[in-house]
C-alpha cells in the first residue's frame, strides 16, 4: 500500500499568496470604480467625502500600504507593456489646490515606474514667452509621446478655475479685447474638450484626477478654488473623470 504523499506546505502557501494577490488587484480595481465619475450631469462634490478612506482607517494602515504596493507593481508591469507596444501614450492630469496631495501622489504612486519613461510637468505662473501664445500652448508641448507617461501637476484646467476668478490673470494673457466676451468660459470648455478629443484620437489616453482637500484643513492657495468653480469644471468636462481624495491611510 503506497503511503499518502505529504502536502508541500511551501507550494500551498505560494498558491494562497497568489490568490490573495489577485484578490488585492481586484480590490484595487473595485476601489477605483467608486471614485470614478463617468457622467457629469448629476455630479456634485458634496456627495464625495474628502475624509473617505474606503474603510481603510489607521488600524488597517498595513493593509492600505500593501494595496498601494500591489498597485505600484501592476503599474510597473503596465508601463512595460505601454513602452513595448509603442502605440499609446498616457497623460495623467493632477488638479488640486496647494498642499492637497499632488506631489505625494506622484512620489508614492509613481514610485515603481521607470523614471526614464515618465515626464512630470508643473504649470505655475506663465512666463513672458508663454503669454505670447495661446493658453494651451505650453501644455501641448509637454504631452507625452507614444510609449511614455506624462504627468501634469496642474494644467490648462487652471484657465477655467483661477483665471475665471481673478480677472487680472486673463488681462495679462494679452488677448484681443474683442475676443474676451461673456462666452469666453464656454469657449474654453469647448477648446479643452476638443484638444483632449484630438489627443485621444491620436493615441494619447488622458486620465484627469481632481483632489479635494478636507474643508476644515487650512490649505494655502485656496482663493481660486471654490467648490462652485470645481463643480463647474468637473460637470462641464466630458468623458471619464477620477476623483482623488486626501486620506491618512496612504
| Residue 174's CATH number | 3.40.50.300
Tally of structural domains, the chain: 1
Residue 250 domain-assigned?
Answer: no
Q: What is the pLDDT of residues 182-236, one digit of tens each?
A: 999 999 999 999 999 999 999 999 988 887 765 554 444 434 444 444 444 443 4
Q: Among 185, 188, 163, 187, which residue's Cα sits nearest to residue 173? A: 163
Q: Among 11, 37, 63, 4, which residue's Cα sits nearest to residue 234? A: 37
- What confidence score (pLDDT) does residue 232 get? 41
Residue 41 domain-assigned?
Answer: yes
Q: Kindly report whether the global pTM for this prediction surpasses the value 0.85.
A: no
Q: Which domain holds residue 160?
A: 11-245
Residue 2 domain-assigned?
Answer: no
- What confidence score (pLDDT) does residue 140 get? 95
Q: What is the pLDDT of residues 81-133, one digit of tens each?
A: 999 999 999 999 988 776 666 777 777 777 778 889 999 999 988 999 999 99
Residue 185 domain-assigned?
Answer: yes
Residue 5 domain-assigned?
Answer: no
Residue 106 domain-assigned?
Answer: yes
Q: What percent of the chain has pLDDT over 70?
A: 71
Residue 197 domain-assigned?
Answer: yes
Are the C-beta atoms of 210 and 102 separated by less than 8 Å? no
Element (H, E) at 186: helix 184-201
Give every CB contact of residue 241 below 8 A, 6+ residues apart in sequence: 36, 37, 38, 40, 208, 210, 234
Q: 476601489: which residue's cell?
A: 31
Amino acid at each position: 500500500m503506497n503511503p499518502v504523499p505529504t502536502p508541500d506546505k511551501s507550494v500551498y502557501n505560494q498558491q494562497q499568496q497568489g490568490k490573495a494577490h489577485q484578490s488585492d488587484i481586484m480590490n484595487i480595481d473595485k476601489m477605483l470604480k467608486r471614485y470614478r465619475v463617468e457622467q457629469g450631469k448629476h455630479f456634485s462634490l458634496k456627495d464625495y467625502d474628502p475624509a473617505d478612506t474606503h474603510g481603510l482607517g489607521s488600524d488597517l494602515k498595513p493593509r492600505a500600504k500593501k494595496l498601494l504596493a500591489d498597485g505600484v507593481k501592476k503599474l510597473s508591469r503596465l508601463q512595460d507593456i505601454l513602452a513595448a507596444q509603442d502605440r499609446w501614450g498616457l497623460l495623467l492630469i493632477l488638479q488640486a489646490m496647494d498642499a492637497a496631495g499632488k506631489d505625494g501622489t506622484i512620489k508614492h504612486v509613481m514610485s515603481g515606474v521607470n523614471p526614464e519613461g515618465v515626464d512630470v510637468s508643473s504649470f505655475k505662473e506663465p512666463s513672458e514667452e508663454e503669454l505670447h501664445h495661446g493658453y494651451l500652448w505650453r501644455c501641448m508641448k509637454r504631452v507625452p509621446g507614444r510609449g511614455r507617461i506624462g504627468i501634469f501637476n496642474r494644467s490648462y484646467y487652471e484657465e477655467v478655475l483661477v483665471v475665471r476668478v481673478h480677472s487680472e490673470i486673463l488681462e495679462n494673457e494679452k488677448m484681443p479685447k474683442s475676443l474676451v466676451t461673456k462666452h469666453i468660459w464656454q469657449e474654453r470648455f469647448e477648446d479643452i474638450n476638443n484638444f483632449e478629443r484630438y489627443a485621444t484620437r491620436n493615441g494619447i489616453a488622458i486620465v484627469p484626477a481632481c483632489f479635494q482637500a478636507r474643508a476644515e484643513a487650512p490649505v494655502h492657495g485656496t482663493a481660486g478654488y471654490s467648490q462652485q468653480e470645481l463643480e463647474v469644471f468637473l460637470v462641464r468636462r466630458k468623458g471619464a473623470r477620477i476623483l482623488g481624495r486626501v486620506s491618512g491611510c496612504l
